[in-house]
């Protein structure tokens, strides 16, 4: 039964991190457009957010899934050694996993970050926060908070 909780927690974490990361991406782009003088109505903003999720989810979701799997495996090992960090191991791992994934994509795409919303320090940090939220969801759903 524990494996079912872990897998369910992992899939929920991937969905949450992907959805939040996609929303951050969209809102950062909209913020840039607004700074340039564009007026974007709330309904258009919502539609753009939904459309970006649908468009980004297949590719970005795979990247998030791989990153979180690696991050959560490392966290599961490290939290046994670094017991004081055990309660925050998975949120920290989620944030770090997204940071590494974004950095690897930046390098792989020859200096261009394909997730445009992560091209600024704020956008990068918010994307990492989406990963941390995924880690928190995993921790709660899988019951992995203790050391």
Give pLDDT, residue 144: 58
CB neighbour list of residue 120: distance below 8 Å, 6 or more residues apart: 28
92 Cβ contact partners less than 8 Å away, ≥ 6 residues apart: 75, 85, 132, 135
Average pLDDT on 85-104 reads 95
Q: Is the pLDDT of residue 139 over 70?
A: yes
What is the phi/psi pair of residue 26, to 5°?
A: -65, -45
pLDDT at 146 over 90: no
How far is it between the farthest Cα atoms of the chain?
A: 54
Mean pLDDT of 128-144: 92
Torsion, Cα 5 87 124 97, to 10 degrees, reads -50
**CB atoms closer than 10 angstroms to residue 82:** 12
pLDDT in tens, 59-75: 999 999 999 999 999 99
With a threshold of 0.85, does the pTM exceed it?
yes
For position 54, what pLDDT does the model report? 95
Nearest CA to 33 out of 22, 55, 13, 48 is that of: 48
């Amino acid at each position: 039964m524990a494996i079912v909780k872990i897998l369910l927690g992992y899939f929920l974490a991937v969905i949450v991190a992907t959805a939040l990361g996609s929303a951050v991406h969209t809102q950062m782009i909209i913020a840039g457009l607004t700074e340039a003088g564009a007026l974007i109505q709330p309904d258009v903003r919502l539609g753009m957010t939904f459309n970006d999720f649908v468009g980004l989810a297949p590719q970005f979701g795979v990247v998030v899934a791989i990153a979180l799997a690696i991050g959560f495996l490392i966290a599961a090992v490290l939290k046994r050694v670094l017991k004081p960090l055990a309660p925050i191991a998975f949120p920290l791992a989620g944030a770090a996993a997204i940071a590494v994934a974004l950095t690897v994509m930046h390098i792989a795409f020859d200096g261009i970050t394909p997730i445009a919303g992560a091209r600024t320090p704020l956008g990068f940090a918010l994307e990492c926060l989406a990963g941390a939220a995924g880690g928190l969801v995993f921790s709660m759903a899988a019951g992995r908070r203790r050391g």
